Amino acid sequence: MQIGEAARASGVSAKMIRHYEAIGLVPTADRRDSGYRDYADEDLSRLRFIRHSRDLGFPIEQIRVLLRLWTDRGRSNAEVKALARTHLAELEGRIVRLREMADVLQHLADACDGDGRPDCPILAGLEAAGCDGSRAGNRSVCHPNPGAD
Amino acid sequence: MQIGEAARASGVSAKMIRHYEAIGLVPTADRRDSGYRDYADEDLSRLRFIRHSRDLGFPIEQIRVLLRLWTDRGRSNAEVKALARTHLAELEGRIVRLREMADVLQHLADACDGDGRPDCPILAGLEAAGCDGSRAGNRSVCHPNPGAD
DNA sequence: GCTTGACCTTCCCATGATGGGAAGGTGCAG
DNA sequence: CTGCACCTTCCCATCATGGGAAGGTCAAGC
């Protein structure tokens, strides 16, 4: 099967399949006389594995490890689980950081009438913010009602 | 004041200050005879505004608009609020996507004993996943207990 | 005066995952 | 033979940020 069909079947774009080959995430594909890459059904499962890992946000280097474990019959599921937990912590961390941003922004937006006047608590908040280390102490601008959520 | 001090005072790295100047986010800095950039206190507020905006996750191009509104006395806070809400929606969207990833991964990790055997539901889940459009219908692998959260 | 060290300058390169697009070859159907 | 869909490689772009090299500036200390 050509790369386009492999792409359709695996959900990984042809562009990315070539890229994964270039960085050694998938083995060098067989070539036809024409130079076209040729894929077998077995190759698809690896591509799908990669795509599912990407769908869960795993970075390439962790997927590389996951693939090694996946194809290693003597693997320890403890190692897999540890990897999963590490990534889970990373995801939760990102969520927390985004949640903080969203909460602060929501607070600022709530304080803004949006009635067309120039007066704007959002811009005032971005101007002051008070969370830059210099002149600390007025953190309430940054995290209003601490602990009141 | 030299760029290093401006960086310390604003929380924006010297590297980024130069970059922001290059892309026109801050005006071209005055230069001393030596060629060193020279900053006044007024410049700091702009840099702080940018940093606070970045802290809330605004992309550069939106910060450009925010800066224009900030320095426009005839601005409408409605425009600011709309911009904030757009970004807020973006943040919430990212959170939802990360939350989905984390939930699926948590589910897989919970199913894995991590007792050192090769048997591993996490790898099995990455292999099958069932969410790639081909052979749809078994979405429960992907979103277990739909609606039961 | 000369050295030392901290600072500055510009320029290039790297990240991470993905895509766009150009220039050119392959293969099949009409 | 033409056209079209597909493939190839190569280069560039994203987005915000940093690293580092090569070299200039300046103040303090000897």
Testing the interface with B: which of A44, A69, A132 to mutate, by most B Cβ within 10 A? A132
How far: B147 CA to C15 C1' (Å)?
39
Q: Judging by DSSP bridges, how do beta strands B30-31 and B37-38 pair with one another?
A: antiparallel
Contact B55 A84 (CB under 8 A): no
Amino acid at A107: H
β-bridge mates for residue B31, sequence order: B37
Residue extents of the structural domains in chain A: 1-75, 89-149
pLDDT band at A2 (very low <50, low <70, confident <90, very high): very high
A82: nearest CA partner in chain B? B114
Structure tokens at A5: 């069909």
Write out the E strands in B33-121: 37-38
What pLDDT was estimated at residue A126? 96
Using alpha carbons only, give the angle A100, A102, A107 rounded to the nearest 5 degrees. Answer: 100
Using CB atoms, pick whichever of B53, B70, B95 lies closest to residue A99.
B95
pLDDT band at A140 (very low <50, low <70, confident <90, very high): very low
Contacts of B41 in chain A (CB under 8 A): none
Testing the interface with B: which of A46, A98, A100 to mutate, by most B Cβ within 10 A? A98
Query: CB under 8 Å to A110, separation ≥6 — which residues?
Result: none
Residue B56 DSSP class: T
Closest nt to residue B36, judged CA to C1': C8
CATH of span A1-75: 1.10.1660.10
What are phi and psi for residue B20, nearest 5 degrees?
-65, -35
Contact A112 B80 (CB under 8 A): yes
pLDDT in tens, A7-61: 999 999 999 999 999 999 999 999 999 999 999 999 999 999 999 999 999 999 9
Structural contact between residues A129 and B87, judged by C-beta atoms closer than 8 angstroms: no
pLDDT in tens, B50-85: 999 999 999 999 999 999 999 999 999 999 999 999
Q: How far is CA B104 from CA A55, B43, B92, in A?
A: 10, 47, 18
- Considering only A4-18, A60-74, A87-101, A117-131, which range has the smallest mean pLDDT? A117-131
Distance CA A15, CA A130 (A): 45
CATH of span B1-57: 1.10.1660.10
Using CB atoms, pick whichever of B81, B104, B117 lies closest to residue A56.
B104
